[in-house]
Amino acid sequence: VDKTINEVWLWHGTSEAGAAGITDTDFDLIRAGSATGSLFGRGLYFAESCMKADEYAAQDSRGLCPLLLSRVVLGRVNYCDAKEPALIADSLEASCKGGGFHSVIGDREKIRGTYREFVVFDNEQVYPEYVVWYRRMPPFKSG
């Protein structure tokens, strides 16, 4: 990854068909927000935590889930810690489409105690490097 352009490794949860479509062609911004909403605007959503990305992964017929480990160029980041970011989603999106920013970081960790979300609005900023297939297992209990 190239730190000079703020390129980072991030996770993206999807379905088997989604993983195939993304790796065969590209991320499709037309579908952005159609499956899980668009809290920070109609963009491509990523997480630094695979546990967050798992929330968006769907099991296939074998019981396996795909996560994409992608190189994402964040560039100049618009940081958002608004409690209700959906109310300003259009302005967040606009800030990255000619407004001087390249991505949004939604800091849900700070506001809700969950995970940060990373959003880009140009699929040229993303390269899905790996598809990681995994099986969800019940939590281990210490005895």
Instruction: Give per-residue pLDDT as tens, 30-62.
Output: 777 666 668 999 999 999 999 999 999 999 999
Give the chain's radius of gyration (CA, Å): 15
140 or 81, greater pLDDT: 81
Give which of 12, 127, 136 is closest to 65, Cα–Cα: 136
Lowest mean pLDDT among 27-31, 54-58, 64-68, 93-97: 27-31
The rounded distance, in Å, linking the Cα atoms of 124 and 84 is: 28
pTM of the predicted structure, to 2 decimals: 0.91
Question: Which pLDDT score, from 0 to 100, does residue 141 have?
Answer: 72
Q: Could you tell me the strand order of the sheet in which 126-135 lies?
A: 77-80, 103-107, 116-120, 44-47, 7-13, 64-73, 126-135
Question: Which pLDDT score, from 0 to 100, does residue 35 have?
Answer: 63
Average pLDDT of 87-112?
96
Give which of 34, 39, 37, 38 is closest to 83, Cα–Cα: 39
At residue 110, φ and ψ (nearest 5 deg) are -70, -45
Q: Is the pLDDT of residue 26 over 80?
A: yes
Provide the Cα torsion 53, 38, 87, 93; round to 10°: 100
Give which of 101, 86, 98 is closest to 41, Cα–Cα: 86
